[in-house]
Structures are given as structure tokens and as C-alpha cells.
Amino acid sequence: MTRLLLATRNAGKLRELEQLLGEAGLEGVVVETLSGHAEVGEVEETGETFDENAHLKAAQVARATGLWTLAEDSGLEVEALGGAPGVLSARYAGRHGDNLANNERLLRELEGVTDRQARFVCVAALARPDGQIVATERGVCRGSIVEKPRGARGFGYDPCFLPEEKDLTMAELSPGEKGAISHRGRALRALIPALERLSGEQPTPGRRPS
Ligand code: ITT
């Protein structure tokens, strides 16, 4: 068995990544989360692009653990805001991961704005145990920002985002419906061939904290 570590501390992302990997039915790969890896410190997301941050996270966590590592960086890009919040999506209103405040700021910035086009972007990266990036894939989901948030599923900006193929917000879709069209689903499905090659790898013992 080859061990694959999911390098995210975002519970919503983790749920979706686990579901998407489950749907792919990877054989010979055992998926682990950061909860069993206290040796992994905080990764500073200093990149200016989703690609840079996805690479930073995957490479640093792989090197810290000695495991194959999957990380992703994602966010919302709003046309009328020049692509904001973009890579700052998790901390748009100041405090990292404050979804309620982030959504409030987003709707405030768009008050009276008629062009509400937006897209979710996800860049997923796979790093070898030595930290080298072996695959990177990007997924995009186009849509628009509603006037009033709707729905209680998903996470982050989901209640504000109306995908163009649906008349329900992301937060009103079931996990399966979201995964079928989401930026994360698209990036992950594109990464599956690289993940399937892992089952042919030598088993990875990983590094234990000393
Ligand atoms: P990790 O770095 O630990 O993975 P994070 O939440 O800090 O977690 P990011 O820096 O990639 O991750 O920020 C992603 C933010 O973009 C997330 O906090 C949401 O605000 C938003 N976002 C990304 N994907 C989303 C989705 O599917 N639905 C709603 N919001 C999403």
C-alpha cells in the first residue's frame, strides 16, 4: 500500500477531497489526513497564485512527513472585483477561515453591481515524499454571485455562488452534485491518472516525528 496524505486543515475541503478520491476507487493507496501528523507545522501561503500556494503546501508537507502528499489551493474570483478575493479568499474579511464575515464582505462589495460573474478555481498538486511536485491540475467552475445567500451545505462562499449549470446555489446542492461540477471535482478528476500510478510505487514508510 502507498500512503497518500491530504494536506489541508480546511474541514470542508477535506470532506470533499475524501469523497472525490472515494469515487475514483484508487487501488493500493491508503489516504491519511493531517490529524495524525502533529509533526506538520503551519504552511505560510506566501504565493501570489493558486499554483504557487498549492506547490508550497504539497512540497512542505511531503518533506515534513516523507509521504506522497496531495494539496490544493482554491478560491473565488469575481469579475467586477478584478479577480478578488482570489488567493486571499480564506481571509478576505481579515480572519482566516471566517466564512460568515467573508460572505458579508463579498455581498457588500457587490451592492448595486450588476455584473455578478464569478468563478471558483482549484489547483491541486501531488508531491513525492522528497517534496518534488510530480503533477498539477486546475479546475474551474463558472457562475455568478447571488444577491442573498441560500443553502446550508458545502462551506465557504457556497451560499453566495450560483453555478451556471444550475438554478441552485452551491450550498443547496448535495455533495455528489457539487462534486460533479465543482472546481475541486474537476481538478481532482484530472489528477486521477497521476494518483493511479501511485499504486505501483514502493510502499512509503513515511517519517515518524522524533
Ligand atoms: P488549507 O490551506 O489548509 O487547505 P484553506 O481554507 O486555508 O485550507 P485556501 O487558502 O486554499 O485553503 O483557501 C480556500 C478558500 O477559498 C476557502 O477558505 C473558501 O473561503 C474558498 N473556497 C475554496 N473552495 C471553495 C468551495 O468549494 N466552496 C466555497 N468556498 C470555497
Residue 210 confidence (pLDDT) above 50: no
Closest ligand 1 atom to the C-alpha of 170? 28
User: Ligand 1 pocket check: which of 5, 9, 13 to mutate, most ligand atoms within 8 Å of Cβ?
Assistant: 13
Q: Alpha-carbon distance 151 to 154, whole Å?
A: 9
Please give the torsion angle defined by the CA atoms of residues 140, 84, 49 and 7, in that order, rounded to the nearest 10 degrees.
-70
Residue 173 confidence (pLDDT) above 60: yes
What is the whole-number distance in angstroms between the Cα of residue 91 and the centre of ligand 1? Answer: 9
* pLDDT for residue 84: 98
pLDDT tens, 75-130?
Answer: 999 999 999 999 999 999 999 999 999 999 999 999 999 999 999 999 999 999 99
Paired with 32 in beta bridges are 5
Q: Is 51 a catalytic site residue?
A: no
Q: Alpha-carbon distance 169 to 144, whole Å?
A: 9
Question: Which uninterrupted H or E stretch holds 22?
Answer: helix 11-24
Residues 6+ apart with CB under 8 A from 83: 77
**Amino acid letter, residue 117:** Q
How much is the pTM?
0.95
Domains and CATH numbers, the chain: 2-200 (3.90.950.10)
